[in-house]
Amino acid sequence: MLGLLLARAGLDVTVMEKHADFLRDFRGDTVHASTLGLLDELGLAADFARVPHRLVDTISAQIQGTTIDIDLRRLPGAHKHIALVPQWDFLEVLATAAEAEPGFRLLRSTEVLGPLRQDGRVVGVR
């Protein structure tokens, strides 16, 4: 997301991804209402909508014998839900949008081992 925003601001951006794709398990597969709003602002809502996902507007959980109900339909803003989507699909939406920017490069299968320093400044990566 940061790479996309920087590229849209006119900066040259290179993002390096160690793997050839994003097909790995991540910490979570939820896209929150505030993030869905950001996708709207970035013009990516239609791209995201084409990715298979599920919307959740209510959550019920039992915690130590007590039922807790959360109604996301009461959230402020246009999105009164969260989306469940594999994170690799979400990252591909962002990467595809970023790659459409002239100053953006995504280097897949590129492992960064550490910074290159010169005169006390970071000037690249190994």
Residues 2, 5: Cα–Cα separation, whole Å? 5
Average pLDDT of the chain to the nearest whole number: 96
Q: Domain residues of the chain, as ranges?
A: 1-24+102-126, 30-85
Would you give the DSSP letter of residue 21?
A: S
Q: Which amino acid is present at 53?
A: H
25 has a pLDDT exceeding 90: no
- pTM: predicted TM-score of the whole model, two decimal places: 0.87
Band the pLDDT of 24: cuts 50, 70, 90: confident
39-74 per-position pLDDT tens digit: 999 999 999 999 999 999 999 999 999 999 999 999
Give the strand pairing for 54-56 and 82-84: antiparallel
